[in-house]
Structure 1
Amino acid sequence: MKASYALRRLLSNNYSLQCQTKRTFYRSFLRQTVPLTSVRYPNLKRGGYSALTDKDLSVFEKLIPGRVLTGSSELDGYNTDWLKTCRGSSQVVLRPKTTEEVSAILKYCNERKLAVVPQGGNTGLVGGSVPVFDEIVVSTQLMNQIISLDEISGTLVCEAGCILGNLSDHVAESNLIMPLDLGAKGSCHIGGNLATNAGGLRLLRYGSLHGSVLGLEAVLASGEVVDCLSTLRKDNTGYDVKQLFIGSEGTLGLITKASILCPQKPNAVNVAFLGCDSFERVLDIFKESKMKLGEILSAFEFLDADAIAVARDNLKLSIPIDDSFPFYVLIESSGSDGTHDEEKMNGFLEDMMNRGYVIDGTVASEPAKIQYIWSVRERIAEGLMHDGYCYKYDVSIPLSHYYGLVEAVRERTQGNTTRVIGYGHVGDSNLHLNATSPEYSQTTMDLLEPFLYDWVAKHRGSISAEHGLGFKKRDFIYHSKSESAVRTMNQMKQVLDPNGILNPYKLLPTVVR
């Protein structure tokens, strides 16, 4: 039975909530419906870490008084991932407010060999931000201060627990924007974004976080604070140490602060939502958009018909144009001259329609309409949860083979899935492939993996475009990285975290060849 349906049914039957709040009931419901990761993966063995004791809890209470969570109802959300597919059994959540407190916590845990999971907004999709067994959760929720914003250089300095959406709102007051934009911006933390090297919707325009981040502060497992919090665009002094932590998924250190270069907010934004009759046309439109829109092109997204059906049927969203096309394209332009940009966009679309590349479309320049069109794209992940269980994949594939993976998976899993959909960032070759079923099925999983990763490797793609490897993908790392590269990663881990306490069972494979 689908978890969402079962919950609605229980609530609609006036299930007794007299002695508990609805929130407590929901957490109890989660414990019943989301199996422990250690149960779902019975061959996985707990590492040789110490077990938490009452003495440890007393030490933590002295280090961060009043910010040690131990109640089972309080811990459920921290133990369970956003997709409700991974659940750990941590007995404590620590919520430091300062870098010094993080340092003291990690120093103690390292000496005691207590495993730790750094956690931000817990919006990850590969099980990277929750415990696998009973690791201690160190949450950055209270490290949410904006330290400074230089309006001239566009440099923002903030703590790791700042919510991305709040940062976007803050810099907007100075006519700047964050270089990163995600559907989860209302709850994800910038520290988690950096730890996973999140890509987002406008990487096409602003590049990856490796280029936008000017500096970082991070705490090593030993408690040592690595201060690389530069605000300079050019600093060519020695190794670029901050890059080690971007994309390391909390396995090398816990990011506490960051300085980020924020671009100027565009004066004019236009969004086009188009329908076309084949994926080949999607690629034709992308090629032409790079030539005709050039410097004002800021995003190029695609959705297939099944993705549109999720928005329409599961979320009850009205599709901006006819909903019967096999493929849809969302193009965003942003620039400094509204009249010029609008003329450029309209001229481009007229050409595309005259040539038969686009069958139907609409253009929006008003903020409310732009936001609505983007919501159709951004809320797909939410809509998929209505189907029950979602098998979620984030890969990069050369555009010549891009949609072929969706077709191959759809054919292979026919009869075992509710739907298989494809959508994502054509502008940077990032495909989000999702399959759903009423509940988790090992048969379906066996059809998907390793077939999907083998297909990606055969076509020289990457098994992780922007979500990281986390727990779910770590043993498939060799599909995208060489043995020598993985050995180098493991050596770095051993140097910076010799006791392996930071986010164990994540990113690195079970066996390093």
Structure 2
Amino acid sequence: MIRSFAADGLKRFASIRCFSSTPDFTKNNYNVQRGGYQSLEEDHIKYFQTLLGENRLVMDLSDLEQYNVDWFKHYRGNSKLVLKPKTTEEVSKILSYCNKNKLAVCPQGGNTGVVGGQVPVFDEIIISMALMNQIESVDEHLGVLVCQSGCILENLDNELEKKGFMMPLDLGAKGSCHIGGNVSTNAGGLRLLRYGNMHGNVLGLEAVKANGEIIDLMSSLKKDNTGFHLKHLFIGSEGTLGVVTKVAIQCAVRPKSINLAFLGLQSFPKVLKTFMQAKQDLGEILSAMEVMDSATMDFVKDKLKVESPIGEYPFYLVIETSGSNDEHDADKLHKFLETTLIKHFALNGTVATEPSKVKEMWQIRERIPDSFVKDDYVFLYDVTLPIPDYFTLVDDVRDHLGSKGKVFGFGHLGDGNLHIQVAVDKYTHEIKDFIEDYMYSRVVELKGSISAEHGIGFAKIKYLEKIKDKNALIFMRQMKRLMDPNGILNPYKLIFEQH
């Protein structure tokens, strides 16, 4: 059922330009200089054909386009070859050969990233993980999933459902993204508040270094203090230190009861008070806390014809609970909502307990990115901020931008992850710099992070020095040189030096 209440009287971090046609090459748009890598030759192709067979090589120009261009059509590479291995051993042989011949490679999962980390910049050989999609085991006692890195997130969740478990990660791109990509970017998602990010859920992994060496860090143990926790080197390294080929993930028990509240609020201070009330009243069953402003809700309504179920308000909160007792959980959520109305934190709200209604209300939040794809020129920024300053940045950017564009704020309030979209009438490099130079500096002043869950990729690489300690950057470069001395792994991304 849906029960309603009313109070009486009362993500260049990642700059996204949505094109209707194929964009120009990234190297041209950003004036990038190619590294000293070898170009693909006939002998190289013959080796890969012998290794994989002709059917697992993609060389037709029309087929290559889907691998060379990112989903938002902002970045475009010029790869002439896609390889599709099925085993870790094949990945090992590919990388060993490429390293010896100084051929640059770009590992690619579902191609759903938004910072250009998954597509080539020049003619790097793309290693598609799409055929490494086998689930090896699910431990029915411990809930540990072992699978290859090319498995699609939603497929994994569907398989786990049969065993009474669920993936701890939930993303809008779950129908396309690969678990290997999720690990390599340390993905966050909608329920990080409850289940954490990939660093906390990956028990073990297998990866292949640039020289073809296979590093077996597989484990199903939650506790293992036998030396350096090397798996964490690969989580969030975006394919620059090695190619992840297999993972072991601690999965959560699938909740029997899921409820959702959709609230309308007057101001962000009221949002913060509601957030604190939810943590107190919902505690152990609180699983997600999403916020959006009225500009975002109006944009979704205009582009997708999706409306708020409670009318128009300056701010909206989507609050999810997950537990094991329908009556208990629904009662707690109803009492929480009544409290927020009595205390005048919220102006209006509705609660959904039926699965179909829960899904329907979640769609309002999950489809926000879809609405921005339908606009001509949109920049996306993905940042983390201290929660008290969560919407300070939105207000500041609006003041800075004035009539030059429209600013939209929404995101994962529970972990401080804010998404800001800026829509402009016409894309120019000048407006891009005008927005980003200010925003980057303001994030640093607010003691935030330039990347919350999308990684650094190509889009944010030049801004790392604004946020990272100098010695930390030096250490990152030293690690890159140690593990990939020829720099063949995903060049021009995250931490790059000319070779």
TM-score class, shorter: over 0.9
Aligned mate of 2:324, from 317, 323, 336: 336
Equivalences for residues 398-417 of structure 1 within 5 A: 398-417=386-405
Deviation of the 1:400 alpha carbon: 1.6
Contact 1:413/1:444, CA 8 A, preserved across alignment? no
Deviation of the 1:401 alpha carbon: 1.2
SS in 1 for 2:403: coil
Q: Do structure 1's residue 425 and structure 2's residue 412 form an aligned pair?
A: yes
SS in 1 for 2:260: strand
Aligned to 1:311: 300
Equivalences for residues 320-335 of structure 1 within 5 A: 320-322=309-311, 324-335=312-323
Aligned to 2:180: 191
Aligned mate of 1:443, from 406, 417, 430: 430
Aligned to 2:14: none
Q: Distance in 2 between matches of 1:318 and 1:435?
A: 21
Aligned mate of 2:126, from 137, 160, 169: 137
Q: Distance in 1 between matches of 2:401 and 2:60?
A: 42
Q: Distance in 1 between matches of 2:399 and 2:116?
A: 27
Aligned mate of 1:496, from 483, 488, 494: 483
Q: Deviations over 1:374-393 (max 9, x none)?
A: 11111111110111122111
Q: Distance in 2 between matches of 1:218 and 1:183?
A: 26
Q: Do structure 1's residue 74 and structure 2's residue 63 form an aligned pair?
A: yes
Deviation of the 1:320 alpha carbon: 1.6
Aligned mate of 1:345, from 333, 337, 343: 333
Q: Distance in 2 between matches of 1:430 and 1:96?
A: 35
Aligned to 1:231: 220
Give the partner amino acid of 1:269: I
SS in 2 for 1:251: coil
Aligned mate of 2:467, from 480, 485, 489: 480
Give the partner amino acid of 1:451: Y
Question: Greater shift after overlay, 473-482 or 253-262?
Answer: 473-482
Q: Deviations over 1:138-185 (max 9, x none)?
A: 000111111100111000001101000111111011111100000110
Q: Deviations over 1:369-428 (max 9, x none)?
A: 1111111111111110111122111100011211011111122223322x2101001100
SS in 1 for 2:402: coil
Aligned mate of 2:208, from 195, 219, 224: 219
Equivalences for residues 42-441 of structure 1 within 5 A: 42=31, 44-65=32-53, 66-322=55-311, 324-417=312-405, 419-441=406-428
Q: CA separation of 1:172/1:236 partners in 2, compared to 1, >3 Å: closer, same or farther?
A: same
Q: Do structure 1's residue 507 and structure 2's residue 498 form an aligned pair?
A: no
Q: Name the Cα RMSD after superposition.
A: 1.5
Deviation of the 1:510 alpha carbon: 5.8
SS in 2 for 1:129: coil
Deviation of the 1:310 alpha carbon: 2.2
Q: Deviations over 1:449-482 (max 9, x none)?
A: 2211110011110100110000010111122210
Deviation of the 1:499 alpha carbon: 0.3
Deviation of the 1:437 alpha carbon: 2.6
Q: Distance in 2 between matches of 1:356 and 1:49?
A: 63
Q: Distance in 2 between matches of 1:314 and 1:236?
A: 51
Q: CA separation of 1:414/1:509 partners in 2, compared to 1, >3 Å: closer, same or farther?
A: farther
SS in 2 for 1:431: strand
Aligned to 2:456: 469
Unaligned runs of 5+ in 2: 1-16
Deviation of the 1:199 alpha carbon: 0.5
SS in 1 for 2:112: coil
Give the partner amino acid of 1:136: I
Q: Distance in 2 between matches of 1:279 and 1:179?
A: 29
TM-score of the two chains, using structure 1 as the length reference: 0.92
Contact 1:50/1:114, CA 8 A, preserved across alignment? yes
SS in 2 for 1:422: strand
Contact 1:387/1:438, CA 8 A, preserved across alignment? no
Contact 1:475/1:510, CA 8 A, preserved across alignment? no
Contact 1:476/1:509, CA 8 A, preserved across alignment? no
Q: Distance in 2 between matches of 1:55 and 1:117?
A: 20
Q: Distance in 2 between matches of 1:440 and 1:170?
A: 43
Deviation of the 1:35 alpha carbon: 1.1
Q: Distance in 2 between matches of 1:437 and 1:79?
A: 26
Q: Distance in 1 between matches of 2:497 and 2:309?
A: 47
Contact 1:394/1:464, CA 8 A, preserved across alignment? yes
Give the partner amino acid of 1:198: A
Q: Distance in 2 between matches of 1:238 and 1:257?
A: 21
After TM superposition, which residue ranges in structure 1, 4 or more long, deviate above 3 angstroms?
none
Give the partner amino acid of 2:139: D
Give the partner amino acid of 2:492: Y
Q: Deviations over 1:290-326 (max 9, x none)?
A: 111111111100011111112211011132210x211
Aligned mate of 1:39, from 24, 28, 34: 28
SS in 2 for 1:506: coil
Contact 1:387/1:437, CA 8 A, preserved across alignment? no
Give the partner amino acid of 2:223: K
Contact 1:475/1:509, CA 8 A, preserved across alignment? no
Figure out how many residues of one structure are paired with residues of the other and give that number. Answer: 482
Q: Distance in 2 between matches of 1:135 and 1:410?
A: 39
Deviation of the 1:346 alpha carbon: 0.6
- Residue identity over aligned pairs, in percent, reads 51
Q: Deviations over 1:339-358 (max 9, x none)?
A: 11111111110010011111
SS in 1 for 2:118: coil
SS in 1 for 2:269: helix
